[in-house]
Structure 1
Amino acid sequence: MHFNLAHFPDFEEGFISGTVKHDTLEMLVGIRQQLNCRHITHVGHSDQPGPYRGPAPDVSVLTTVPTKWVMRYAAKNYFSVDPIMRAIKPSKQAGIAPGTIRNLSAEDGVSTEVRQFLRDCELRGLGNLYLAVDASNAHGFRGVTLFTFDIERAHEGAFVDGMRKRLATVSTRLHNVLHGNRNPRLAAVVAKLLTKRELDCLYWAANGKTDGEIGEILNIARWTVVTYLQNAKNKLGCSNRTSTVATALALGVIEMPTIASRF
């Protein structure tokens, strides 16, 4: 499993560029002020096998946690025990209903490994209450938002009950802003029309690379890149390179260019 990571450490500018950076950061800061939470992490994923090929990853992660925690998380392979990461693995079982609020530390049957993970989160200053909210867009592209808080244990139950509607609303809004147009079924169909090299070229074109730079990255001739992009344009019924890339992004055939692979 590969991860697309958009990182705004402690609600400040991170490794994400362009206008999207400022809009997203402003949205996250607004949510933090509204909810008075410590951190926000949103994971977008599909229950279906992803159509992505080449360099495109299959899970998108947006987070505000400190950089040191991201590095520790990767070094300790915490994705294998992290409850919100384990929940996104494709399964034949029905997914959790959108809007469901889960208190990760209070769920039944929490393993020792998960408790240790959550304890490590708390010790590293991420908060002591971890509420996960599941979401889904109109096309069934799923997501989960993790909100962390610092709440006295005695007030935890009342706090969670009082926040349910607000958290569900905010999580849905965040998911739709980030992934509102993602359509896994349509993306899977469209992806079959494109070859791996055509997808590779579209991915790097979306990241602002020139034909020559794409050729160097993929170790192919510049004019071969031009041919692949031309083929993709024709298959997607677009009039130019810009609209081809935009269409591929909108369909979810390639990932958003603002996110960098880190794990």
Structure 2
Amino acid sequence: MTGKSGLWEMVRTVTVAGLLALGARSVVAQPFHVPSGSMEPTLEVGDFLFASKFPYGYSRYSFPLDALPIAGRVLGHAPERGDIVVFRLPRDPEQVYVKRLVGLPGDVVQMRDGVLHVNGQPAALERLEDFVETGADGARRTIPQYVEHLPDGPTHRVLHVAGRDGLDDTPPLRVPEGHYFMLGDNRSNSLDSRVAATAGGVGFVPAENLIGRADLRHFSVDPTALDEPARWPAALRLDRIGLIH
């Protein structure tokens, strides 16, 4: 093999591998990392996850540079209540958010005294032990933790400090057709559909803005330990790797 043919073979191999990786990222699953605590305790800062593309089908936001020239979605199925969804922020599609879907098209969603209500039915809360959070400053703090039972949906853990963010009570909000209502599991520290997009919040999320369903946590690291080499061996959170619920 000559040097020129060997170089061409390497370029071809790298190109094919890159195209295959790009195709898998666009069609099968896309990696994301969690930069904030708005989905604690389910997702923590430093978690890395894969969002499956095929469950919801595809829209122009499923591909690099928003390359699919269509409106709405093709293939796939509608998301279900309780799914953890990765989506483009409606008021700024360059930003990617991850939240839990609690309201389907036509639902009426309301917060009353910190309790989620869907179509007038409260999501029952069951008290658990406090969640221990480590802040960016290394300080540890405890937050009240609950199991939330969504109406006709799965159960999951949520965090809530009464009265912290002023969003414990909202007016009834009817989800428009073709849109969804998203909440962070950390109810006292989440910018989500409780705040309208016109007021700087998330608002209702159009179906075409959905990127995928967060299904798998493939890596996790404690970001507070990265500046302290002595803590690096313990920074890997291998116990967090696995399916996301």
Larger Rg: 2
Bigger share in strand:
2
TM over 0.5: no
Bigger share in helix:
1
TM class by shorter chain equals under 0.3
Normalised by the length of structure 2, the TM-score is: 0.27
